[in-house]
Amino acid sequence: RRTLAAAILDGRWEQAERTLDKLAVENDQGATLANLIERIVRGVERGGRQWTSARRKESLQRVLNGSHGDAGVLQIRLTQLLGSWDQDGADSVHAPPEAEPAQAATVQAAGPTATPDKAASPAPAAAGNLAATIAEQGKNESTWARAVASLGASLHKALAAAGADEQAAALAAMTAEIAAQGATPEHADALLLQSQGIDRALQHRHHLVEQLGGLCRELTEGLGDMVEDESWTKGQLEAMRLKLDEGINARGIKSASELLRQTRVRQRELREERGRARDALKSLMNQMLQEMGELGARTGSFHDSIGRYAQAIDGAESLEGLTGVVGEMLDETRSVQELVGQTQQRLQTEHSRASELAARVTTLESELRRLSDEVTTDQLTRIANRRGLLQAFEVARARAEREATPLSIGLLDIDNFKRLNDELGHGAGDVALRALAEQVAKSLRPDDVVARYGGEEFVVLLPATPDDEAQQILTRLQRSLSGGLFMHERKTVLVTFSAGVTVYRVGEAIEPALERADEALYEAKRTGKNRTCVA
């Protein structure tokens, strides 16, 4: 075949004919190859607007060099190359003068419907180098085999999940197409995109497993803290069941984990308050018994004294003697009266304290029962909570669909929040949450919405805003925090956040959108934090 190529390119037609006859005998494809050679002879010297004679020879050389191992592949590629030459006159207006002949030829190998218009389309920047390399190497099958094998190995590492079968099928179809038609720059573009998608899916799968482990830990700790009254946790557990029923995903697991954590904290607070009330009641009872014992002993002594005073009065023979007995009796009476008054006051104080603690317990129990019906404002940050977010999303979604405008959804997560809590204390963490919520709320437009989704996560709704503009808005907000967010012990505390942005798709609930935003958020965390990525 190299001899045939050299003969054709040099115009040595007799040698080309002899070589063709030999190939026809070897491959039993004489008629087909003869027709191809005839078309090549006519076309290689006839230049066109885009395919000059020199460029036709160059592309022919590359096709021949890249197909020397398979006569069937050679025939297919020659046929498609000739097709692109034949279209030079009619369709060349679609191809830029700078189009590489090798690229155009190989794009034609993608299928009979390919045109120079598609061949001349610029490859994405991420795939440009690979496409050029593939073209320069003459469609080196071993290079593609390694690339496909690498993708196959990546897929084997993936867990069974929605979308995995689709990606595997797409990869298998691409492999079959490459094997049948040869590699093209378009295949390079598609393969790179496929590889990036698989890589992101695998990374997010690991993230999902980590979140699932966190949920299991919270369940282990939280279930041991549950108290005997089911009504105190009924709302939270029901909400968690609904969340998990939506499907195992990072958003649902993290939300359920946060719900359990909050429940455990509330239950611990209630248990401590009840313990203090119980101790106070025990102390009250002991104090009452002690006071009553002292009072009984004193009144018993007073009773004996009364009898003694009565005898003394009966035996008194003078006014002075009677006055002394009466005075002594009055002094002891006042002492007993004072003791009774003090005892009564102490009992009233202890009773008031126990009543206050009992009222506090009752309040906490009522609060736990109201958790599933709480208002739409987060108590710590004073912005919308998850319930408020869902209500705002319904309004924003209806507006976006009615006006046919984009609705961007951003998911924000404070960077290194656990370390901030560990180093400065949970009080500083609460201050950071309030300060960030205030800063975000001030920076957004009147129609925008910011809500605390749970823990250190916030969600922003940006109506009539495409994702690239939303990314710019959040990036500007990130830069505005570079001077520090709040003061702690006379020191400025720098707080940053990472964010993921996605665009609402018509008809979907907020959870799928947040799942995409979470993938972008994880990418932002993985690639350095304090940045915004788009999904």
Active site residues: 456
CA distances from 486 to 153, 380, 450, 458, 459 (A): 48, 16, 20, 18, 21
Distance CA 107, CA 181 (A): 10
Residues constituting the chain: 535
Compute CA distances 504 → 460, 509, 517, whole Å. Answer: 12, 9, 10
Burial class from Cβ neighbours inside 10 Å (0-12, 13-18, 19+) for residue 517 reads buried
Cα 339 from Cα 475, distance rounded (Å): 73
Q: CA-CA distance, 51 to 57, in Å (whole number)?
A: 9
Q: Which residues contact 208 (CB under 8 A, 6 or more apart)?
A: 248, 249, 250, 253
Calculate helix-pair angle for 426-443, 467-480, nearest 10 degrees. 130
CA 469 to chain centre: 20
Tally Cβ neighbours within 10 Å of residue 150: 12
Centroid of chain to Cα 414: 13
d(Cα 387, Cα 365) in Å, to the nearest integer?
Answer: 21
The DSSP secondary-structure symbol of 49 reads: S
